[in-house]
Amino acid sequence: MTPNPKVALQSTRISSGLTALVVGGTTGIGSAVARKLAAIGCSRVIILGRDEKRAGDVLDRMRDTATKGFEGSFIKGDISYVRGIKAALESLKSLLGNDKLDYVVMCQNGPPTGTVNINEDGEGKEFTIQAISRFLLTHLIINNELLNPNAKKVAENGRSKPLLTIDQSRRDSTVLDSVILEFNARYPQYTFYHLHPGLVKTELFDIHLFPFPLSYIAGLGLLMMGSTPDEYANIPVYILVHPDARKELGEGKFWDHRIKVKNPSVWPSARENREKLWNKLLAMTEEK
């Protein structure tokens, strides 16, 4: 039987002294995940985003429900280009000091309009936020030894397929599936998950931003099967922190919004393809 994360988390309290990073934590799913982690006892939650006002609101709400001694912090960063991603990592290192991360949740998301806006690297900002930043931030966090042993990372697939052109969607999904598989293979001391939230009605979600017929598809999807950020946040938090999650769910690393196992497509499943993509991403971001 599929567990009910909301019910399971009602009686869950995680150990003291744990630190979480939520990228994209100023709004939407990221904000909901950050608040949920604080509410169930995470001692320190760091949110990374661009909007200071929204960050302040999230921090205030976390403190209202957190346990005594809670520490909430905000890193202002723009991860729509490689230089910004690396600057955000340096800010994280400085803020952590001697602490390390136990949980990393990546909810960053580019504007889901099917358009392409070129950044200073010559890449689309949307692709950089959605895919490159998830790879590069994780790579840098590991290389800078910012993770505690047995740390867990969740990457939210920030857009549902109907909200992108088909080619963009396939590309992003292929890259994200590939890097999650490869991170798990290269760093078995940690656990990496890829979650597909489906349609989530965030405060910034506006169907009028989409060209027809995408606006119609998005509106119909939200009406029929959409959820709110607070409803959905129970799923990644359950997978990360609940002591029975692995026993209940098994060893899967890819999950949909109903906590059903998803299988990566054929291309990422081939190790040689993943290695080629890995090397290409390193070259694109000037990493070794």
pLDDT tens profile 120-155: 999 999 899 999 999 999 999 999 999 999 999 998
| Domain boundaries, given as residue ranges, for the chain | 5-284
Question: By three-state DSSP, how is residue 112 classified?
Answer: coil
95-104, 172-181, 194-203 — which is least confidently predicted?
194-203
pLDDT of the residue at 162: 44
> Does position 13 have pLDDT exceeding 60, yes or no?
yes
| CATH H superfamily, domain 5-284 | NAD(P)-binding Rossmann-like Domain (3.40.50.720)
Q: Which ranges of the chain does DSSP label H, i.e. alpha helix?
A: 5-10, 28-39, 52-65, 82-96, 125-127, 133-143, 166-186, 214-225, 229-241, 245-249, 266-269, 271-284
**Whole-angstrom distance, CA of residue 233 vs CA of residue 246:** 18
Please give the mean pLDDT across all residues of the chain.
88
pLDDT of the residue at 161: 45
Q: How confident is the model at residue 227 (pLDDT cuts 50, 70, 90)?
A: confident
pLDDT of the residue at 206: 54
CB contact set of 2 (below 8 Å; sequence gap of 6+): 258, 259, 260
For residue 75, the surrounding DSSP H or E stretch is strand 71-76
Please indicate whether residue 1 or residue 31 has the higher confidence score (pLDDT). 31
What distances in angstroms separate CA 246 from CA 127, 191, 238, 240, one per listed residue? 31, 11, 10, 9
Q: What are the tens digits of pLDDT across the range 243-272?
A: 999 999 999 999 998 899 999 989 999 999
Structure tokens given for 240: 């990360």
